[in-house]
Amino acid sequence: MQPQIYLLSDGTGITAETLARTLITQFEGLHPGWHLRPFVRGPQQLDELFERMRAGPQPALAVATFADAELRQQLRQCPIPVLDIFSDHLEQLEQVFGRKAESVSGRAHGIGDIARYDRRIEALNFTLAHDDGLATGDVGHAEVVLMGVSRSGKTPTCLYLAMNYGMFAANYPLIPEDLRGDTRLPGSLRGLRNRLLGLVISPERLADIREGRRPGSRYASLPQCRAECLAIDEFLFRERIPRLDVTHLSVEEIATRVRAELA
């Protein structure tokens, strides 16, 4: 019997879900039923959820991030085991910081500081506008410019960095014509040398990814992928641009390495 996991929050529940899914990875083959219950805003709503948990299949677990102290209190009556994230950890933080925590709902993933929020959206707009090279003139604002062949992960990584960290991330695709033996860095990127990073990938993985996009095409063929991977290797070496091998990395892992590289 696969377990049921209830994600309870007075906010979005994103933190509860992130933590729960992370913990679950340590139980291979477990495929819980997920029940996302965000924006719980009162005791009655929580009581109704308790009723459903009681009536639902077992085993079941609740993972809760209630900022509201009364809802946390009420969690003690929960009919199934609970990971009560705020109760478990806020006290320890209070000791370290030498002050009391507040109990304000919806702060973690709400708009919060509007200037900071607007910057994230601005970063996303910047990244979308610079998704395919140097379309507009303000690439100089980029905090990072990812270079690589088509389908090496530049676009998803840039979007991830912009969305989650408000990072102005541009990408510069290197197409076959760019990769002849004498190709140099475009002038607009020469002033950004310390923000350039090349994504390299094995020809086999690249061919796999491209095959999913354009099955049977020359673009997806292994010889074509080999030629492009070799050419970008030479280009990055020639221009002394640092490289990151993304063959076995997820977007999250690439983004984390980019942040570490820039820190």
Subset of 75-94 contacting its own copies (CB under 8 A):
81, 83, 85-86, 88-90, 92-93
Between helix 154-165 and helix 114-129 the angle, nearest 10°, is: 170
Buried b (16+ CB within 10 A) or exposed e, 7-39: bbbbbbbebbbeebeeebeeeeeeebeebebbe
Among 163, 185, 222, 241, binds its own copies (CB under 8 A): 163
Long-range CB pairs of 239-242 (<8 Å, 24+ gap) are 239/184, 239/185, 239/196, 241/147, 241/185, 241/193, 241/196, 241/197, 241/198, 242/196, 242/197, 242/198
Give min distance, CB of 85 to its own copies, in A.
7
Q: Which stretch binds its own copies (CB under 8 A): 119-127, 139-147, 184-192, 216-224?
A: 119-127
Print the binding letters for residues 93-112 with its own copies: x by CB under 8 A, - otherwise.
x-xxxxx-xxxx-xxxxxxx
Task: Please say which residue, 22 or 182, places its beta carbon nearer to its own copies.
Answer: 22
Instruction: Please tell me whether residue 173 binds its own copies under the rule CB under 8 A.
Output: no
Contacting its own copies within 51-80 (CB under 8 A): 59-61, 65, 67
In the bound state with its own copies, the residue whose beta carbon lies nearer, of 11 and 198, is 11
Between 74 and 105, name the residue whose CB sits nearer to its own copies.
105
